[in-house]
Amino acid sequence: MKLFRFGCLALLLSGLFGCQKYDEFEKADFESEGAEFAIPLGKSRVSIQELLENFDAYNYVEVDSTGLIHFVYEDEVFSQSADEFFHRIDSVLLPLIPLDSSYFTIDFDTLSDEVKIDVARYKSGLVNALIYSEYEGLINFSLTVHEAVKNGQPLTIQFQVMSPIGVIFEGVPLPQGNISTAVPVEGYELRPVDGKVHIEYAALTASGDTLQLEPNHVAFENVNIQFSYFEGYFGNTKFEGERDSVSIDFFQDWEQSNVHFENPSIKLDIQNSFGIPTRSDIKVFDALTTNGPSIPIESDFINNGVIDFAYPTLAEVGQSKNTMLTMSADNSNVKDLLSAKPVGIDYQVDAIANPANDLNLKGFITDSSFYSVSMLFDIPLHGRASGFDAVDSFDIDFSDYDVLKEVEFKLVADNNMPIGIATQGYFLDSTGVVLDSLFDSIGYPIEGAPVDANGIVTGKQTTVTFVNFDAVRFDGIRKATKLEIHALLATTDNGQTNVKIFSDQDVEIRMGMKVKL
């Protein structure tokens, strides 16, 4: 029924209670002019936790072990995976390595200027051997990578081939068909000796004589090689984070307010599974405000922009280490930031691996290694507030209500929350002109429940309110197309007392109306 739907939207505190919480009833068939009907519309109960969970699209509500409610704004301000590092190593590994002798040395340390690998564990891929030979007859060929070992055995490729075989292309032998059966490298561990890897091959005739193949007439082929683990020295590497911000809609939703929170905090939660020392480099960390310039977030932790990450040792491969830093009123300006009504936090955080550039530092990186820096802005609902003015608007249509002469609503509220609420509504026409107000003055006061000296509710507070629209007044708002609701909120004693808001606190509103035709 449209009238009931309008009553819900207009009077249930700026939409904090939805009409879906009432049992719908069928539209009545009114025929008797001058008749009066009393209609119970139902009741709604909502807890403070349910109310707050729909309060802000960008926050979540958390309840601590005592039942105290917290607003929490969380965002990941920086993250880095190992993909970039592994891609860099994979890209310098040549797909085809010509061997200029039967005992060939690869200087692994020259593959990267900054990285010195002690251990490299293969994840996937294949290796192959390609040969060119003008010898006529059977060749027994074997190739061994001495420093690549699995289950105690070196990586070996063996095959037989009838020669002559292969072609030369730009000095490199290429196969005609499959020369060797490719060998999977998964599970092999490469351990260079003094930074070097040795590849040895032998080509024998059917009678066991050694064939002397020309330089570069044998090639070692890497096919789609990927690694899962590196151990060694990884240089001094800087990872640049992007500049971004996290929105805090709490203060954006209120036109004016005077608020005081007792124990707000900003927490930096750092997770790190890179096995090397890593340090943050905080470029920007500011609070954005509604009515002034940005305010730098100051703390003992970040004044110099440096935070050292905890990291796993070589004995803790696969583990992630956590660093949690809490900026509170005792060690930061977070309390002052809330007084300035922040609407967001602007940040840019870089990270530096091996910040001391220790050339003797040994560490590890796995293909699943990562580090991330998350920020949690924690606002426990313990404090006091007054003057909050929430504004919302709803479309309305009275074109079907020609038979109504007078409407009176009765609202009863049982409030177990330490929050008092007063509302006012304004009927607007299609041009935005105010036709009338819902109440003669700021009305429908729901007084906050009483609290003790610790700010804890001691009992419920009941209020009863009547709202009447006679024929003349109702006729004045028939052209209204929108209802704009203002809800003023304050904690108990009009914001003069610190209160604690718990998840089990609620308010119940019972609603009825009397209509006259």
The per-residue pLDDT of the chain, averaged, comes to: 77
For the chain, the domain total comes to 3
pLDDT of 254 higher than 60: no
Identify the three-state secondary structure at position 182: coil
DSSP secondary structure code for residue 453 in this structure: T
Same domain, 127 and 148: yes
Distance between CA 284 and CA 268 in Å, rounded?
Answer: 14
Residues 313 and 372 in one domain: yes
Best mean pLDDT range from 63-67, 126-130, 277-281, 350-354? 126-130
Q: What is the pLDDT of residue 150?
A: 96
| Residue 91 domain-assigned (yes or no) | no
DSSP letter for 111, please: G
Question: How confident is residue 311, by pLDDT bands cut at 50, 70 and 90?
Answer: very high
Query: Averaging pLDDT over each range in 239-248, 265-274, 401-410, which range is the top one?
Result: 265-274
Which residue in this structure is represented by tokens 């703390």? Answer: 299
Please indicate, yes or no, if residue 87 is contained in any of the structural domains: no
Rg, the chain, Cα only: 37
Domain final position from 380, 399, 416: 380
Distance (Å, rounded) from C-alpha 383 to C-alpha 73?
18
CB atoms within 10 A of CB 338: 21
In a domain, 41, yes or no: yes
Q: Name the percent of the chain lying above pLDDT 70.
A: 72
Q: What is the pLDDT of residue 102?
A: 95
Work out the average pLDDT over 68-94.
78
Residues 412 and 509 in one domain: yes
* Domain presence at residue 425: yes
Last residue of a domain, one of 348, 380, 412: 380
| 222 and 267 assigned to the same domain | no
Q: In the numeric block, which tokens belong to residue 78?
A: 């920086």
CA neighbours within 13 Å on the CB side: how many for 313? 1
The verdict on 274 and 198 lying in the same domain is no
Position 437 confidence tier, pLDDT thresholds 50, 70, 90: confident
Question: Are 290 and 415 members of one domain?
Answer: no
Of residues 437 and 2, more confidently modeled: 437
Segments forming the whole domain that contains residue 182: 100-233
Structure confidence at residue 14 as a pLDDT band (50, 70, 90):
very low
In a shared domain, residues 325 and 447: no
d(CA 24, CA 6): 13
Residue range 12-38: average pLDDT?
A: 42
Checking if the pLDDT of 112 tops 70, the result is no
Higher pLDDT, 305 or 8: 305
321-341 per-position pLDDT tens digit = 999 988 888 888 888 887 777
Mean pLDDT of 16-43: 46
Q: How confident is the model at residue 273 (pLDDT cuts 50, 70, 90)?
A: very high
For the cut 80, the answer to whether the pLDDT of residue 210 exceeds it is yes
Among 151-155, 389-393, 429-433, 456-460, the range with the most confident prediction by mean pLDDT is: 151-155
Same domain, 105 and 187: yes
What is the reported pLDDT for 8?
34
258 and 190 co-located in one domain: no
354 and 451 assigned to the same domain: no
Q: Which of 211, 226, 197 is nearest to 107 (CA)?
A: 197
Q: What is the mean pLDDT of residues 263-279?
A: 88
Q: Which whole number is the average pLDDT over 100-116?
A: 82
pLDDT of residue 3: 29
CATH, residue 259: 2.60.120
pLDDT at 403: 64
One domain for residues 371 and 240: yes
Considering the domain architecture, whether residues 145 and 277 belong to the same structural domain is answered as no
* Confidence band for 49, pLDDT divided at 50, 70 and 90: low
Pairwise pLDDT comparison (134 vs 104), residue with the higher score? 104
Segment 32-45 shows an average pLDDT of 60
Domain boundary among 336, 351, 380: 380
Longest dimension (CA), the chain: 121
Angle at 512 between CA 508 and CA 515, to 5 degrees: 160
Confidence of residue 16 (pLDDT cuts 50, 70, 90): very low
The pLDDT of residue 57 is above 70: no
pLDDT above 90 as % of the chain: 20
